[in-house]
Amino acid sequence: MADFAGLVTLCHKLEETPARLEKLRLVAEFLRALPAADVATAVAFLTGRAFPPSDPRALGVRWLPAVDELTAGPPLGFGDVASAFAAVAETQGPGARQSKEHLLRQLLARASAGEREILARIVGGEMRTGVSDGLALEAIAQMAGASIGSARRAALRLGDLSAVAALAVTGGAAALAAAPVRPGVPLLPMLAEIAADVDEVLAAHRGRSALEFKYDGARIQLHRDGDRVAVWTRRLSDVTRSLPDVVEIAREHLGRAPFILDGEVLALDPAGRPLPFQELMRRFRRVHRVDELVRAMPLALYFFDCLMADGRSLIDEPYELRWEALAAVTGGRYLAERVVVTDAEAGRAFFARALEAGHEGVMAKDPRSPYEPGGRGKRWLKLKAAETVDCVIVAADRGSGRRRGWLSNYHLAVRDGEAFADVGKTFKGLTDSQFAEMTSRLWGLATADDGYTVRVRPEVVVEVAYNEIQKSPTYPSGLALRFARITRIRDDKGPGQATTLAALGALYEQQFATKGRAV
């Protein structure tokens, strides 16, 4: 077992190294020198995670308790830290906070001052060494003597950098190239770009497109392998315990052979009407007294893709074949409303029907397209009635008047490389209870406070509707959202899935297809 002090030394070197290539060399050499059993854990820690992305456990704390004593003993190892984090995550119930703090104090008592600093960064989710997921993946490729393309493909199939690292260290380049799709290991979901209209869809899909209702729910990935059934969210969080009704459907109504299905769930009220997205998120977070919420808030389930059927991966097969496999696995039940169109009029009619049914719009998919985990492009397009983008809250102003006491004017930003670029502010869209909940949440993410504006770690993603994108002399991004309003809090998305500045720029340009351009 490697000494944790080695990670501390590496982090300090990384902080002193501005050049990306040198950072890459340092990380690759560090991973190469570790015992194989520690590599996956090291990758999680280096990227600011107490556990790998696909691991459903969470520490339930955001900072370390104060501790003065230092206990002499053997050097702290990676396994010691991993075991302590596991014990903290598994501590639940009455008195959990005190028990968690006791476990962390025991860990800290064995740690040096430098080790305590790095432990605090891991617990806080911010390493601040310049090691992004992308750089870590390149380091894994170098460690294994593999191409970055092979490593990326493995990452898309495994959906977890630590799993990629474990495969690389045990099997090398060949193992990465042959990274399997297997039930029980969630895949990053395929994503869609925004299309302006049905004509654009048909042009992109060479005159023929499969249209599906775009439900206002939450993305899930359902896996079955014999008696083992698991459900993951879009962010690869395991929500199997929170969705026993979905598990029951898998066991009672779907095929027994290994499968992986991509779908959407909606929460329903007692009359069968869809509930707001925020209500649905209560189902995803509930892990105690789940049966009560299942009865009070049943789910509607819609599948739209099949990534594996009968134990065989289908991600490289065309959409049409995957849909046939989906129909076979489900027996034709729980399928998204769908039609294949070859003319714009039929597409517009289907789009209108989706809106009349109360859905967001439609998804348009190229019948010839393979499934690209984590990929986004014109093979999948989405048509929505209202223009929205996904922004990250990077700061909030203190409220005044009836909003006094709340952080209620949110600074919105989009992704710009590995940073975030401000594109507007809004206090519109949330209810009073949501303002209160968001205030508590943002204070927990606060990094600076000047008495008026509170800067926060960029973790909360919100869907933002707007009337227009404008050029902005105020924001360094050069763009601003006009009449921005939050339509929902996207707890199913991470900051890395927010809209990019490049995508926002493209949406800005698209406006001039129907508008004049000011000189």
| Tens digit of each residue's pLDDT (9 = 90 or more) over 93-136 | 899 999 999 999 999 999 999 999 999 999 988 898 999 999 99
Please determine whether the domains at 5-177 and 388-513 fall in the same fold group of CATH: no
Average pLDDT on 54-72 reads: 81
Q: Which position has the higher pLDDT, 267 or 381?
A: 381
The domain over range 388-513 is classified in CATH as 3.40.50.12280: no
337-376: pLDDT as tens digits: 999 999 999 999 999 999 888 787 899 999 999 998 888 8
The domain over range 191-384 is classified in CATH as 3.40.50.300: no
Average pLDDT on 15-43 reads: 95
Return all residues near 41 (Cβ < 8 A) that are at least 6 apart. Answer: 78, 79, 81, 82, 162
Q: Where are the beta strands (DSSP E) in 315-418?
A: 338-341, 361-365, 376-384, 388-398, 407-416
CA 158 to chain centre: 14
What's the pLDDT band for 285 if we cut at 50, 70, 90? Answer: confident
- For residue 180, the tally of other CB atoms under 10 A from its CB is 11
**Distance (Å) of CA 370 to CA 149, 155, 193, 313, 337:** 18, 17, 16, 11, 20
On the question of pLDDT at 515 being above 60, the answer is no
Are 305 and 278 within 8 A, CB to CB?
no
The tokens describing 468, both together, are 């227009």
Q: So where are the chain's domains?
A: 5-177, 191-384, 388-513
Per the prediction, the chain carries an average pLDDT of 91
Catalytic positions, written as ranges? 214
Average pLDDT on 183-210 reads: 92
What's the pLDDT band for 298 if we cut at 50, 70, 90? Answer: confident
Strands 446-449 and 376-384: unpaired
Instruction: Give domain 5-177's CATH number out of 1.10.3720.10, 3.30.70.20, 3.40.50.300, 1.10.3260.10.
Output: 1.10.3260.10
Return all residues near 146 (Cβ < 8 A) that are at least 6 apart. Answer: 168, 172, 173, 176, 177
On the question of pLDDT at 516 being above 70, the answer is no
- Cα dihedral 206→212→217→218 (10° resolution): -50
Residue 296 amino acid letter: A
218-245: pLDDT as tens digits: 999 999 999 899 999 988 888 998 899 9
Looking at residue 514, its pLDDT comes to 53
Alpha-carbon span 499 to 214, nearest angstrom: 19
Looking at residue 518, its pLDDT comes to 44
173-182: pLDDT as tens digits: 999 998 888 8
Q: Which region among 28-32, 275-279, 324-328, 358-362 has the lowest average model confidence (pLDDT)? A: 275-279
Residue 209 amino acid letter: S
Q: Which region among 267-276, 299-308, 372-381, 480-489 has the lowest average model confidence (pLDDT)? A: 267-276
Looking at residue 519, its pLDDT comes to 34
- For residue 197, the tally of other CB atoms under 10 A from its CB is 14
